[in-house]
Amino acid sequence: MDRSMGCEGSSVPEDRTEAGDDKEYVGFATLPNQVHRKSVKKGFDFTLMVAGESGLGKSTLVNSLFLTDLYRDRKLLSAEERIMQTVEITKHAVDIEEKGVKLRLTIVDTPGFGDAVNNTECWKPVAEYIDQQFEQYFRDESGLNRKNIQDNRVHCCLYFISPFGHGLRPLDVEFMRALHQRVNIVPILAKADTLTPPEVERKKRKIREEIEHFGIKVYQFPDCDSDEDEDFKLQDQALKESIPFAVIGSNTVVEARGRRVRGRLYPWGIVEVENPGHCDFVKLRTMLVRTHMQDLKDVTRETHYENYRAQCIQSMTRLVVKERNRKDRSRN
Ligand code: GDP
């Protein structure tokens, strides 16, 4: 092999000493930097869906998570209007920039979910929406302009569970079972400040048992590599044990212990959104933004989208075979 690639007239690359004197340096060690530069230039995108009955604090939590007002133009419906309303799908997009890294965040909301008198199959419009995004991507991928595909696939669905019930309600089970093959579901125990710490623990345990009992496949955090440091392993373990994340949301900043914090002010005290002793908000945000965003996108692409694509190709093949058989029969 010609080790002097790209260094005409010289048999010793200039960077050689960077890798030690006894080993010649080709330069592919810069690959991570090249990938990093390219990705930063392109920017990142992430689509997050929130689902669960209205009033559970979905929009408050999304605003608290991304420190933006994503619901400025939201119109709240009266009880009468909600009875008549069917599940609607709405999208809010926002560009966020942090230290030069751009993130295009799309929030998909499902107003009306669980609000009607009869909620049978109210998961259907949500499932259809997710499938439509897969279908669009499948079409674009098979089309001529594959380079500039707009990817609207849903990477994660935060499913809000009421803190007032005894574990999951039939609607929760129905929704998660219908959607778990299509999207990464992350269960959320809403409004955790309405429960005492032992109640939160009991409720979490019950929800985990029911998820297992009903064969619901929520998003699985990938296993930690054995060579990771102990701190990271402990953090990873704590994250896995927190499911469902018990969260508190707030759009107001209050003064607690001499600091201005995002929290909820009650006559008996303050609950702080970002205090790990009060709720799992920080764990959820760390998982979603800092540690697992790319994995959520990978699982969407490699598992959920691949399942959809395989089903599509299978049914297309079946159609072609059927058509060919029909033609053969009419010819004979
Ligand atoms: P959505 O309909 O699910 O989007 O719910 P909203 O975010 O509009 O919240 C409904 C109501 O619950 C509002 O009055 C919020 O101030 C309140 N709320 C939101 N998050 C919390 C929370 O974590 N705890 C409590 N106690 N109330 C909350």
Q: What is the pLDDT along the chain (332 residues), one digit of tens a residue?
A: 333 333 333 444 444 444 455 677 788 888 888 888 887 888 889 999 999 988 899 999 998 888 776 666 666 666 666 656 666 788 888 888 888 888 888 999 887 777 766 777 788 889 999 999 999 999 898 877 777 788 899 999 999 999 998 899 999 999 999 999 999 999 999 999 999 999 999 999 999 999 999 999 999 988 877 788 888 888 888 888 899 999 999 989 998 888 899 999 999 999 999 999 999 999 999 999 888 999 999 999 999 999 999 988 888 888 888 888 887 777 76
Query: Residue 86: its pLDDT value, please?
Result: 60
Work out how many domains the chain is built from and give that number.
Answer: 1
Report if residue 125 sits inside a domain: yes
Of residues 122, 113, 128, 49, the one with CA closest to residue 82? 113
Instruction: Report d(CA 101, CA 298) in Å as an integer.
Output: 20
Report if residue 5 sits inside a domain: no
Q: Between the CA of residue 176 and those of 173, 242, 292, 304, what are the distances in Å?
A: 5, 18, 20, 14
Question: Ligand 1: does its nearest atom lie under 6 Å from the Cβ of 54?
Answer: yes
Domain enclosing residue 129, as ranges: 35-330
Protein residue with least CA distance to atom 11, ligand 1: 55
Question: Ligand 1: does its nearest atom lie under 6 Å from the Cβ of 249?
Answer: yes
Query: Residue 240: its pLDDT value, please?
Result: 86
Question: Ligand 1: does its nearest atom lie under 6 Å from the Cβ of 60?
Answer: yes
Question: Ligand 1: does its nearest atom lie under 6 Å from the Cβ of 112?
Answer: no
Question: Ligand 1: does its nearest atom lie under 6 Å from the Cβ of 163?
Answer: no
Report if residue 228 sits inside a domain: yes
Q: Alpha helix locations (H) across the chain?
A: 31-42, 58-66, 79-84, 124-142, 170-179, 197-213, 230-241, 281-285, 293-299, 306-331
Distance, first Cα to last Cα, the chain: 62
Q: Between the CA of residue 87 and those of 112, 119, 127, 134, what are the distances in Å?
A: 5, 10, 11, 20
Q: Kindly give the distance from the C-alpha atom of residue 58 to the centroid of ligand 1, in angstroms, as a whole number.
A: 7
Instruction: Report d(CA 139, CA 297) in Å as an integer.
Output: 19
- Tally Cβ neighbours within 10 Å of residue 154: 23
Q: Kindly give the distance from the C-alpha atom of residue 248 to the centroid of ligand 1, in angstroms, as a whole number.
A: 9
Torsion of CA 264, 267, 268, 272, to 10 degrees: 10
Instruction: Report d(CA 131, CA 305) in Å as an integer.
Output: 9
Question: Ligand 1: does its nearest atom lie under 6 Å from the Cβ of 92?
Answer: no
Report if residue 202 sits inside a domain: yes
Question: Ligand 1: does its nearest atom lie under 6 Å from the Cβ of 55?
Answer: yes
Question: Ligand 1: does its nearest atom lie under 6 Å from the Cβ of 265?
Answer: no
Instruction: Report d(CA 243, CA 329) in Å as an integer.
Output: 57
Report if residue 247 sits inside a domain: yes
Of residues 113, 111, 105, the one with CA closest to residue 155? 105
Report if residue 14 sits inside a domain: no
Q: Structure tokens of 191?
A: 């409004």
Return the bridge partners of 261, or none.
254
Query: Residue 21: its pLDDT value, please?
Result: 57
Query: Residue 196: its pLDDT value, please?
Result: 95
Report if residue 128 sits inside a domain: yes
Residue among 59, 60, 264 whose CB has most ligand 1 atoms within 8 A, to mutate: 60
The model carries a pTM of 0.84
Residue in the structure block whose two tokens are 């530069």: 37
Buried b (16+ CB within 10 A) or exposed e, 282-299: ebbbebbbeebbebbbeb
Q: Kindly give the distance from the C-alpha atom of residue 60 to the centroid of ligand 1, in angstroms, as a whole number.
A: 6
CATH value at residue 316: 3.40.50.300
Question: Ligand 1: does its nearest atom lie under 6 Å from the Cβ of 45?
Answer: no
Atom of ligand 1 nearest to the CA of 247: 23
Of residues 186, 171, 181, the one with CA closest to residue 218? 186
Report if residue 10 sits inside a domain: no
